[in-house]
Structure 1
Amino acid sequence: MPRNTPALRHVCRGCDGFARVAITTGTRNPDGTRTTLSVDCPACHGTGHTAPAVLARAGR
């Protein structure tokens, strides 16, 4: 018997699904590890997915 599959979520074009990245600052902590910053994708706000174009359209 066939199953109903959930709707596919569209992967963000800006980050290709890698919504959060760690960027090294070049400095080191006292224990020798590098200092990093976590940055979210500005297009999808860190979710990795976007709404389909037909759902995002509004107005005429």
Structure 2
Amino acid sequence: MALDTALLEILACPDTHHAPLTLDEAAATLTCTECGLIFPIRDGIPVLLLDEATRPAGDGR
């Protein structure tokens, strides 16, 4: 699974800060560089819905 680098450059966290996302190909996820929310990638499609996001382990928010 690989996302086009041009697509990755324009994707942003859907939360109010719209921070860039980093790709974890092994886990098939995108992670917000500001809030740490983790968004799944399903069948090669990023699912950038706040309801579908998870928090990193140990994040008490």
The question of a shared fold, defined as TM-score above 0.5 by the shorter chain, is answered with no
TM-score by structure 2 length?
0.20
TM-score by structure 1 length?
0.21
Which structure shows the bigger proportion of residues in strand conformation?
A: 1
